[in-house]
Structure formats: structure tokens, C-alpha cells
């Protein structure tokens, strides 16, 4: 596997983390101080409403909108915190929760759009190598480790580490921790159990809603969650943030400290690999392929659609070969775009129709292989006869587009606007309605400069005809700040 490089760009209001592989941007994370992610935060909440029909409850954790807790995310409370009630996970939610009840919860999905945060009562605390599950029993290895002999070897190593400690609770060995030694694991155990003890004490003396534990900032979460076997270098352009990351790693993973460094140069760190240009491209609808083909990515509220086209690629042999090569290249590029743009939910990909079954199978294998590298779990369904493939990708935070952009006030997110001609005809109809409703000596049309130019140019004859129909003078005036669809008609 090719080594990766991590670049961290920090300012007081924003942190950006770029993952570079072979000189190419693979992923970009952006976190802003005014709307920082709350995923991973742990709250002492209070149940405000129980919905038996949905097997869910709304919980007040102190945010603008109440958070959502589904019955499947409600587990027995064995956390021994005063005031927290034990529950049976097989029971109906109405028997598990009651309005006014205190409950310790973790945010697993940020609030998005009109939806509040998604919660779980299964508290889990991650570190570099392990995940600690207080209040549970057992030890296991991450599912991504599939070799039975390797899993057994890692499990025995984990049991040895836990057995040599006084930790109470369950542990999961993370994918990023498969090369960790027993000493590395014990460092994690001390760090995690100490964190949990502090949380329990705070929860026992707090009144809900209360923030019990705030997850680390993006830069620290990045080095915590890295699979360090593949990391060549982590560069950060802030001395303060470098010290914070260094301190965290010193406690839990000191063996990688030589791979994190402060970037002191005056030139922006993201200029090293042209990352700013790549971010701009990731906001465009069209993604060009090296062959000359292209992808068109469209986001809607319900799903994302991806259309693949051959574009200027004409191939060398025949049409089927051209289509196959375009689809094959698009499958690899698409996987990178999903990571880069952080697109989640339902994604429908419209591949170009292929006549050869083996070509379709190879495209699907390429797509599945590329998506298997994604840290966000993605599921790929079979290609339909029409060349459509449905992908579902886990979504826990906003997409890159949602973080960096806002809805265009002119088109209201449609991506297009009414033409000047259409607006002129709307103005004619509105003027006619106004003249029939209010008898005046003169009528005033106020519109944007482009529309006024059209009225006085290409539609001058139409404007004259309208004056003849209503028998009154029409004055046209441009107003700065009006967009192409905006106008007013007034009787003078």
C-alpha cells in the first residue's frame, strides 16, 4: 500500500486536514469553530418525549434541537451512575424510557438540515489502538481483520493486555491497532479508563442537560484514528496545534512521534500539492477523466446521482471497448470523489450501457475494490440491466459542499434561473393584470439591468404592443441589486 502524507492547516476559526497519497488529494476534512462537529461528544440528557409508534425518543442534550434516540441504540445501563435507570434492550421503548428520565448518551451523527443529532446510549471511547466499552463485557477484534489465525493471535494479545490491568469493561482492538504491542494496548487502557472515571464523576454531580465529555478537535482526532503503518509524515502549520497533537501521542502512541512535524515555511502548507485547486474542483458538478470522459455529480435532498459519459474519448478499437474503458476509469475516480466530497446516503451511478457481461463484472469489481479502502462503510448493490448501480455510504456529517457553500439566492438551489425572455413575458402579464385592476395614467416597471436592456432592445416591439393594448404609457427603470427573476410593476 502506498504511503500517505497528512497535512494539517490551522487557523483560530478553521482547521483543515488533507490526506495525500502518491501526490494526489484523497480526502479533505474541514471543521469550523462556530459549528464544530459534536459527533463523539457525550452528554447527560433528559428524555422529553417518547414515541412508541416509532420506537424512539427525543432527548434534550442542550442543543437548539432535541436529539433522536432509537430503541435499537438503547442498551442496558450498567454504568453505575447515580440516577441512571437500568433497562432491558428487548422491551418496548415505552417501558425503557419515561419523560423526565436522565440518560447518558453519545452523539453518533451530527445534526443535519432539519434533523437533530442521532444518539446512542452505548458509550464507546476510542483511542489509537483500542475502543473502550464501559459497562459491557468481552473483548474482540475489528471485523476488518478477517484472517482467523491473525484474529486469534490479536485477541490473545488483547486479553494479555487487559488481564494485566484492573480495567472493568469491554475492549475492541481497532484496525489501526493491529500492529500494537501489549505495552501499547496497556497505554490505551490506562488513558481510556482514566477518561471514563473522570466522566462518571462529572455525570454523577451534573444536572441535565450537560456536556460530560467533548471529543478532541479535528487535528487530534486525525492522529488518533490513523492507521500509522501507512503514514509517512504528518505536517501541521501551527506550533500550538503541533504541541497538542504531540502531547496526545506522547501519552498513547509515542512510537510515531518522529513522524509528526511542525511546518514552519511562510508559503501555505496546502500549496505543497495544489490542494486549494483540488478543493475548488470538488465543488464542481463535472469531473473530468484522463481519457476525456467525465462524470456529472448531482446532489438532491434524497440522494446523489452520478452520470458517466465518454465525452471526447473515442477509443482505439471499437465502441464497446471505449465504453468499457470509460466505465472502468470512472469507477476508480468515483470512489475517490465520494471520499473527497464526503457524499453519503443513497448514491445512484448511471454507467454507460455495456454489451459484454465480463466488462460489467470487471467494472463492478473495480468499484467494490476502490470503495473497500473507504473508512466510511459503503455497500454496493448489483448493476441493473440499465447500467444503474446503487451505493449506500454511511453519513455522519455534512458533505464538503454543505460545509463550504450556501444556496444561491438567485436560483434558490436549482442551479439555473429564468431567462431574460421568460422574465419579460412574466412582466408583460403582470402589467396587464395591474392595468385591469388599477386605472392609472402610467405604469412603472422596475427590473434588473439585463432584463431592462432586453425590454428596450429585443422586446421593444412587445413593450410597444402592450402600451397599445392598455392605452397607457409604460416606463421601464433598472434597479441595482435586483436579480434576473426579480421585478415590480406599479401604477403611477
Mean pLDDT of successive 10-residue segments in the chain (492 residues)?
87 93 92 89 96 93 94 65 46 85 94 88 93 89 88 92 85 89 92 94 94 94 89 94 94 91 92 92 92 90 90 72 91 94 93 92 94 87 91 87 84 83 95 93 95 94 93 94 93 90
CATH number of 420-491: 3.40.1260.20
Angle between helices 357-371 and 319-341 (to 10 degrees): 20
Cell of 16: 483543515
Identify whether the C-beta of residue 322 lies closer than 8 Å to the C-beta of residue 360.
no
d(CA 349, CA 62): 39
Burial of 73 (0-12, 13-18, 19+ CB in 10 A): middle
Residue with cell 509517512: 232
Which CATH superfamily groups domain 43-213? Nucleic acid-binding proteins (2.40.50.140)
Q: What local confidence, expressed as pLDDT, does residue 83 receive? A: 43
Burial of residue 296, with CB atoms counted within 10 A of its CB: 0-12 exposed, 13-18 middle, 19 or more buried: middle
Predicted TM-score (pTM) of the model is 0.81
Q: Residue 86: what pLDDT? A: 43
Predicted local confidence at residue 314, as pLDDT: 64
Spatial separation of the C-alpha atoms in residues 333 and 288, rounded to whole Å: 9
Classified by CATH at the fold level, domain 4-36+215-276 comes out as Nucleotidyltransferase; domain 5 (3.30.420)
Q: Domain boundaries in the chain? A: 4-36+215-276, 43-213, 283-401, 420-491
Q: What is the pLDDT of residue 241?
A: 94
Q: Are the beta carbons of 177 and 131 closer than 8 angstroms?
A: no
Q: Which H helix or E strand runs over 6?
A: strand 4-11
Q: What is the pLDDT of residue 1?
A: 57
Residue tagged 436522565 (cell numbers): 102
User: Grid coordinates in use for 490?
Assistant: 406599479
In this structure, the chain runs to a length of 492
Amino acid at each position: 500500500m502506498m504511503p500517505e502524507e497528512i497535512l494539517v492547516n490551522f487557523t483560530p476559526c478553521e482547521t483543515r486536514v488533507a490526506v495525500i497519497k502518491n501526490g494526489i488529494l484523497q480526502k479533505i476534512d474541514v471543521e469550523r469553530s462556530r459549528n464544530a462537529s459534536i459527533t463523539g461528544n457525550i452528554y447527560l440528557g433528559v428524555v422529553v418525549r417518547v414515541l412508541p409508534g416509532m420506537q424512539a425518543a427525543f432527548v434534550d442534550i442542550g442543543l437548539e434541537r432535541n436529539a433522536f434516540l432509537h430503541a435499537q441504540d438503547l442498551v442496558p445501563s450498567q454504568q453505575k451512575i447515580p440516577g441512571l435507570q437500568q433497562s432491558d434492550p428487548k422491551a418496548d421503548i415505552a417501558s425503557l424510557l419515561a419523560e423526565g428520565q436522565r440518560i447518558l448518551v453519545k452523539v453518533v451523527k451530527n445534526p443535519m438540515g432539519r434533523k437533530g443529532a442521532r444518539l446512542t446510549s452505548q458509550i464507546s471511547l476510542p483511542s489509537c489502538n483500542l475502543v473502550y466499552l464501559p459497562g459491557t463485557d468481552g473483548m474482540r477484534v475489528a471485523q476488518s481483520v478477517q484472517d482467523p489465525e491473525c484474529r486469534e493471535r490479536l485477541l490473545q494479545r488483547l486479553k494479555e493486555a487487559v488481564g494485566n490491568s484492573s480495567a472493568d469493561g469491554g475492549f475492541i482492538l481497532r484496525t489501526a491497532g493491529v500492529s500494537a504491542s501489549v505495552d501499547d494496548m496497556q497505554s490505551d487502557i490506562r488513558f481510556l479508563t482514566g477518561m471514563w472515571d473522570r466522566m462518571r464523576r462529572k455525570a454523577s454531580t451534573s444536572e441535565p442537560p450537560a456536556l460530560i465529555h467533548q471529543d478532541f478537535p479535528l487535528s487530534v482526532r486525525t492522529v488518533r484514528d490513523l492507521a500509522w503503518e501507512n503514514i509517512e509524515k504528518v505536517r501541521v502549520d501551527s506550533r500550538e496545534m503541533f504541541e497538542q497533537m504531540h502531547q496526545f501521542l506522547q501519552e498513547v502512541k509515542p512510537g510515531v512521534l518522529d513522524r509528526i512535524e511542525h511546518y514552519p515555511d511562510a508559503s501555505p502548507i496546502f500549496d505543497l500539492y495544489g490542494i486549494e485547486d483540488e478543493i475548488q474542483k470538488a465543488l464542481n458538478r463535472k469531473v473530468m477523466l484522463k481519457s476525456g470522459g467525465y462524470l456529472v455529480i448531482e446532489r438532491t435532498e434524497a440522494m446523489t446521482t452520478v452520470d458517466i459519459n465518454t465525452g471526447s474519448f473515442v477509443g482505439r478499437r471499437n465502441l464497446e471497448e471505449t465504453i468499457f474503458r470509460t466505465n472502468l476509469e470512472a469507477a476508480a475516480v468515483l470512489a475517490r470523489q465520494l471520499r473527497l466530497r464526503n457524499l453519503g446516503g443513497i448514491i445512484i451511478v448511471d454507467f454507460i450501457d455495456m454489451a459484454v457481461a465480463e466488462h460489467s463484472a470487471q467494472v463492478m469489481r473495480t468499484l467494490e475494490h476502490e470503495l473497500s479502502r473507504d473508512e466510511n462503510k459503503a455497500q454496493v448493490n448489483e448493476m441493473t440491466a440499465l447500467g444503474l448501480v446503487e451505493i449506500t455510504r454511511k453519513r455522519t456529517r455534512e458533505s464538503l459542499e454543505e460545509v463550504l457553500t450556501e444556496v444561491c439566492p438567485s436560483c434558490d438551489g436549482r442551479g439555473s434561473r429564468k431567462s431574460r425572455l421568460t422574465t419579460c413575458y412574466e412582466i408583460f402579464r403582470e402589467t396587464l393584470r395591474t392595468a385591469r385592476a388599477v386605472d392609472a395614467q402610467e405604469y412603472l416597471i422596475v427590473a434588473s439591468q439585463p432584463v431592462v436592456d432586453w425590454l428596450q432592445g429585443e422586446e421593444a416591439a412587445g413593450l410597444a404592443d402592450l402600451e397599445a393594448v392598455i392605452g397607457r404609457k409604460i416606463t421601464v427603470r433598472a434597479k441595482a441589486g435586483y436579480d434576473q427573476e426579480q421585478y415590480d410593476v406599479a401604477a403611477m
